[in-house]
A and B are shown apart, each in its own frame.
Chain A
């Protein structure tokens, strides 16, 4: 009987601690209350991160100074949270990194909570980070989740004379509807660079060489890249491994990122018209 009582007592204590935990979490608004894993509700601290990161970036002097820009290139953080912690530690030790770019598949299941978990890790970076949407980020309600947490699916920014064109190329997720990527928009952003734009970089998740890129759009897209007057290279993710090459006749360079799981990333240093140096770092 005594044992039984102590058993109940234990359960009651367990129960009380759970309740206490729940109350503390509620007060600290740790987002226990969830209507659906597919909901897109986003607390202010996790909203419009692209815009917030860009504001931070524009306010920050270029660490390398002058014409050179040095940044970390990675991709596919999807469900690699332990690796994300080590990634942040490693990048924070690098010198003169202006920002980090993440080539899509921030999440694995397209859930808003995953985007928040990734941001919980990446907000520990000493420098701003910018993302482009990946195919996994478009599953379920992922499109709206990404828009709430990060922002527009296509956007551009210019830093240290380098214009970055970030574009959604996840054609398969739209059933190859012939409109993804938005080639007209990419064309307009690349065609006549402003005088302060010394070079251009296009970044997207799925490369045109991939079977997940809308076959109807490959031709016009690749031609648009080839026609861009100051394109240094295109950056992609999706393959979870590093590669660099010029797969098309127009000599456009494509660089693919490691995923977080590979515990490696690329440091790119870009200067001059299309000059760049590429280093890979293990973590």
Chain B
């Protein structure tokens, strides 16, 4: 029941497999033996959602901080010609920094519309990403803001579920090809974000709370499968 918020993310994953014609759309890349005859302005991107079951993840990722756990790991999907990543993460915060250890379960979507034109190189830079996440924190010690202690509406927010947004960027390097012959990348990314409660605090105190006070930073690595 409490994980229902993940459903919209599943819906995002469902867009039907891309037309097979896209198979050859990758830039000819030096390490690849792929039959990539077609050329395009788009630099090498993992195409995603091609000739494989929708549920098979396209990449794995590990992340630190960003409000999603001291460390977090998960799987993700890429669509819209490499521009949209949808990731699911499980994060961990030890007891030392909490009352009891916290499990942080996050679903997020990251949209990176631009790729810098670096010419013929294995490097790929997406300078700007924008994204949103929803997270649920499970921890026995957390004093829930919505349980039998209170009448309905006593507190307006949930102490477990956070919604947040971020901007970021990523640098990737092609490290070979996947079993479909598409370029396979390893990417490092960062996210500078905030969450609903911090944003509420800032918005209700314009000028009273400096912007940098509400920012959080996270960074991670994604590896194409």
Contacts and interface: CB of A to CB of B under 8 A. Distances in A.
A153 interface: no
B98 A39 contact: yes
Interface string B151-167: 00001010100100001
Interface stretch (B6-14, B27-35, B61-69): B61-69
A79 B199 CA distance: 11
A41 to B, nearest CB: 5
Contacts of B217: 22, 25-26, 32-34
B65 A34 contact: yes
A216 interface: no
Given A34-B66, A82-B205, A117 B104 contact: no
Contacts of B159: 38, 109-110, 139-140
A79 B205 contact: yes
Contacts, number: 139
A11 B113 CA distance: 12
Contacts of A30: 212
Contact of A32 (B142, B145, B167, B216): B216
B127 A11 contact: yes
A38 B205 contact: no
A210 interface: no
B67 A141 contact: no
Contacts of B192: 18, 22, 32
Contacts of A138: 143
Interface residues on A, range: 35 or more
Nearest to A36: B93
Interface string A29-48: 01011111111110000000
B65 A33 contact: yes
B55 interface: no
B143 to A, nearest CB: 6
A111 B197 contact: yes
Contact of A38 (B98, B198, B209): B98
Interface of B: 64-70, 91, 93, 97-99, 102, 104, 114, 116, 127-128, 137, 139, 141-143, 145, 148-150, 155, 157, 159, 162, 167, 169, 190, 192, 195, 197-198, 200-201, 204-209, 212-213, 215-218
